[in-house]
Structure 1
Amino acid sequence: MTAAPSPASAPRRPAAIAFDVLDTLFPLAPLEWRFRAAGIPRVLMTRWSDHMLRDAFALTLLDGRHTFEDVARGALRDITGHQIAPAAEDAIIEGMAELTARREAADALTAARGAGLRVVTLGNGDDGPTAALMARSGLEALVDGVLSCAAPHSWKPSSTPYLAAAEALEVEPGRLALVTAHGWDVAGGSRAGLVTGWSAQLEGRFPSVFPPPDVSGRDLVEVVDGLLALP
């Protein structure tokens, strides 16, 4: 676990934490068998995920008003040359509502709540499906709310969702921490003035093109512990 001071000022112990959802609390890897069942090569699953991010980032720049499901379905059609059967497409999308949380997710959320911090989720997905996913996984009782980018009509890493989350929690951006497994998400949160925590579970090494996070760890528990240890 490492901590690095922000270029502007040293990070402070947060009053609230926002956890990213997909590939942070909930790995997408279990969807692999649904891709196999649909006859889609395994390698295209990563391409699908990257394609979704690409389109989400583009929509942010273009002020596009589409749901996360729109983007996910569009990416599936694009990577398969629009050859995917409707039933297979539905099976993959429905599988996103049945993802399993990381083994340490509950412990990380519990540690944050136990330290007196308010805890929410902040993903690029729509709030309804995310709330259902949290309920199904048993994590719903461990958070104070499910926030999404639907309300401000802007996708991360635009500053708008991060600042909207701080406003909803009634804290200054510098007292809100973001916990995520995505380097681009860290960059967005940092630019918005949030304290940033990065978990190495997905990327292994933090992307060199972005400024480093305030706290990093091997998993979500280490990241939360690092945030709680800040002065």
Structure 2
Amino acid sequence: MVHRPHTVAFDVVETLMTLEPLRGRFVEIGLHTSALERWFDRMLRDGMALTLAGDYAPFPSVAESALRVVGGGRLSDDDARYVLDGLATLPAQDDARESMRLLVDAGISVVCLSNGNRDSTEAFLDRSGLDGFVDQVITVADVQVWKPSPAVYAHALSCIGSAAHDVALVAVHAFDCHGAHAVGLTTGWARRLEKHYPDLFTRADVIGDDLVEVASGLVALSPD
């Protein structure tokens, strides 16, 4: 039986950070409005594929490669740079601050666990005002594999200094929850992005419409 976690690790991209402002940049360089989703899905796929092959490339490199594929190999360097520069301006999701506040007020510490790099993640937290809630940033660059590799979650547990059953992973991606659950973490999934939790993944322990509902559900779990 799961219990209230001592620490919650938030995924960052799409969970805490919205990609939506990038959509206009895709359109401005001549791509379809749906290119945003195609790019992000391609980026995740390629990062995971590298991990499965025993290789690694950092988020910026995989992001640019995926963008050039989605652009049909026709994007200029200026166009690619224009889209990718937008990553440094992205704001937080509307539900991010309140979910973190609920957890911290309940005595639960908060960390971030991201496929992104440390500098960009810390910059995002600073400009969005979420940095005051977050104790540390943990990234896949430390172990050079992408989520949902078990090595990522094991590394996060080592950084946090807690056993798996005392830590929860919160994400809007079911694959991330599945990976975290496989190494013993409690999991929380917000349905605002994917809407449907695939049956092929282990069901998250807490499910809510948004991060606030997920945080509330985690706080409501029985303590030790």
TM tier relative to shorter chain: over 0.9
- 1-structure distance, mates of 2:108, 2:157: 13
Q: Which residue in 1 is equivalent to 2:67?
A: 76
Alignment pair present for 1:62 and 2:53: yes
For residues 164-187 of structure 1, the C-alpha deviation after alignment (integer angstroms, 9 at most, x for no partner) is: 111111100111100000010011
Structure 1, unaligned runs of 5 or more? 1-9
1:210 aligns with 2:210: no
* Secondary structure, aligned partner of 1:146: strand
Which of 210, 214, 222 is the matching residue for 2:213? 222
Please, which runs of 5 or more residues in structure 2 have no aligned partner? none
2:125 alignment partner AA: M
TM-score, L = length of structure 1? 0.93
Offset of residue 103 of structure 1 = 1.2
1:123 maps to which residue? 114
CA distance in 2, matches of 1:73, 1:229: 41
Alignment of 1:66-215 (within 5 A): 66-215=57-206
For 2:195 and 2:167, the matched residues in 1 are separated by: 24
**Partner of 2:168: helix, strand, or coil?**
strand
TM-score normalized by structure 2? 0.96
Which amino acid is 1:19 matched to? F
RMSD: 1.0
| Mapped partners of 1:104, 1:182: distance in 2 | 16
- Give the share of equivalent positions with the same residue, in percent: 39
Q: Distance in 2 between matches of 1:104 and 1:16?
A: 19
Partner Cα distance (2:79, 2:31) in 1 = 10
CA distance in 1, matches of 2:55, 2:125: 27
Q: How many residues are aligned here?
A: 222
Q: What corresponds to 2:5 in structure 1?
A: 14
